[in-house]
């Protein structure tokens, strides 16, 4: 399952873009509000860090059809890459209408705030490139977030749609793994959850053990130093 980073924090984006195999960055109005300041400068800095080839998903703030369409086009023009800039549009009737119009013109639309498989099906029929089901927001209200993603996987496999699933809104690493097992294509994950996906105390103790055993037998030299002799 492909992983995208769900943040607008530049330090986190620089770090994860260097050390982790991330495919891009997603933002939403709340995520951008956490950073504050000049939003346009922030968005261009994110694009500059991840480069032209990786995906950026930016959400519209307008709510009227004409304005959503205008804003979507302006976002893509500003970030300058129609292929790898996706416009996030919430799963409403107006959002579906905008998705139909924009996807016909070749814009990549991520229908977001998807809280049911039914919404995902409609978004796919409207031509969305991605649907973003909110896993934790469902789990938090005792609904089945992971099960909803599994249902969407099945519906999309049956219909043969090109729409991809971008699972979102994770609070635990386990939820991320669970949607991967369910066959989800892509997940967008916060810096905190992404750190938890990699870290393991037994990995740390294993590495410490290797280093101690090596040092006991061979002292301060390294394998590279021996090879370079
Ligand atoms: C994707 O970008 C979504 O907007 C995001 O994952 C929502 O996450 P939250 O439910 O933690 O706000």
| Whether residue 83 is found in the same domain as residue 109 | yes
Burial category of 129 from C-beta neighbours within 10 Å (exposed 0-12, middle 13-18, buried 19 and up): buried
pLDDT of residue 94: 98
- Identify the weakest region by mean pLDDT among 19-23, 82-86, 133-137: 82-86
Question: What pLDDT shows up at residue 51?
Answer: 96
> How far apart are the CA of 156 and the centre of ligand 1, in A?
22
pLDDT band at 4 (very low <50, low <70, confident <90, very high): very high
- What is the predicted pLDDT for the residue at 112? 98
Do 134 and 226 sit in the same domain of this protein? Answer: no
Note down the domain range covering 184.
2-198
Q: Is 25 in the pocket of ligand 1 (CB under 6 A)?
A: no
Report the chain's mean pLDDT, rounded to a whole number: 97
CA 227 to ligand 1 centroid distance, Å = 48
- The pLDDT confidence band at residue 161, using thresholds 50, 70 and 90, is very high
User: Are residues 41 and 111 both part of a single domain?
Assistant: yes
Q: Which two tokens stand for residue 137?
A: 């927001």
Closest CA to 166 of 122, 124, 213: 124
Band (82; pLDDT cuts 50, 70, 90): confident
- Give the residue whose CA is nearest to atom 10 of ligand 1: 169
The reply to whether ligand 1 has any atom less than 6 angstroms from the CB of 169 is: yes
Residues with catalytic function: 88
Q: How many domains does the chain have?
A: 2
pLDDT above 90 as % of the chain = 98
Per-residue pLDDT band for 149 (boundaries 50, 70, 90) equals: very high
Distance separating alpha carbons of residues 134 and 170, to the nearest angstrom: 8
**pLDDT for residue 81 is more than 80:** no
Helix (H), strand (E) counts: the chain: 12, 8
pLDDT in tens, 101-143: 999 999 999 999 999 999 999 999 999 999 999 999 999 999 9
Does 123 lie in the same domain as 45?
yes
Residue 160 sits in the same domain as residue 224: no
Mutate to test the pocket of ligand 1, among 8, 134, 138, 176 (most ligand atoms within 8 A of CB): 134
pLDDT in tens, 33-54: 999 999 999 999 999 999 999 9
Q: Both 94 and 165 in a single domain?
A: yes
Which residue from 2, 169, 54, 67 is spatially nearest to 75, judged by alpha carbons? 67
CATH number of the domain where residue 146 is located: 3.20.20.70
């Amino acid at each position: 399952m492909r992983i995208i980073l769900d943040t607008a924090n530049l330090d986190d984006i620089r770090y994860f873009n260097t050390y982790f195999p991330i495919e891009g960055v997603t933002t939403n109005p709340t995520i951008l509000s956490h950073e504050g300041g000049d939003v346009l400068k922030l968005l261009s800095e994110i694009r500059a860090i991840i480069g032209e080839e990786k995906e950026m998903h930016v959400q519209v703030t307008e709510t009227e059809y004409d304005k959503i369409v205008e804003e979507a086009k302006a976002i893509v023009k500003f970030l300058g890459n129609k292929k790898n800039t996706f416009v996030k549009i919430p799963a409403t009737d107006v959002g579906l209408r905008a998705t139909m119009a924009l996807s016909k013109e070749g814009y990549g639309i991520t229908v977001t705030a998807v809280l049911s498989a039914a919404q995902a099906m409609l978004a796919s029929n409207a031509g969305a490139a991605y649907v973003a089901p909110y896993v934790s927001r469902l789990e938090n209200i005792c609904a089945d977030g992971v099960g909803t993603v599994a249902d969407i996987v099945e519906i999309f496999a049956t219909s043969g749609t090109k729409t991809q699933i971008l699972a979102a809104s994770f609070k635990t690493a386990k939820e991320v793994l669970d949607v991967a097992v369910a066959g989800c294509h892509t997940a967008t994950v916060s810096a905190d959850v992404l750190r938890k996906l990699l870290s393991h105390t037994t990995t740390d103790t294993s590495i410490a053990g290797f280093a101690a055993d090596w040092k006991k037998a061979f002292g301060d030299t390294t394998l590279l130093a021996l090879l370079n002799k």
